[in-house]
Amino acid sequence: MAIIIRLDRVLADRKMQLSELAEKVDISIVNLSNLKTGKVKAIRFSTLEAICKALECQPGDLLEYDNE
């Protein structure tokens, strides 16, 4: 079972680069890259909120549950 992060898909839908999102959310590109590739084990709600605000999306657009 796993939580899959779909940040890359949402960024592509919004035609936004990771660097642009990093600037809007005030998070380092390295941290966003780690989030995008699934290398993180946790995310703060404040960070998730800022990403959703910048991308005009819902948390469910970014996170997906896979029980296999």
pLDDT digits (tens, 9 = 90+) for 35-65: 999 899 999 999 999 999 999 999 999 999 9
Percent of the chain beyond pLDDT 90?
Answer: 90
**In angstroms, what is the C-alpha Rg of the chain?**
11
pLDDT at position 58: 97
The answer to whether 61 and 32 are in contact (CB under 8 A) is no
Percent of the chain beyond pLDDT 70?
Answer: 99
> CA end-to-end span of the chain, whole Å?
5
The yes-or-no verdict on residue 1 having pLDDT over 90 is no
- The arithmetic mean of pLDDT across residues 6-19, rounded, is 96
- The arithmetic mean of pLDDT across residues 2-26, rounded, is 95
- Structural domains in the chain? 2-61 (1.10.260.40)
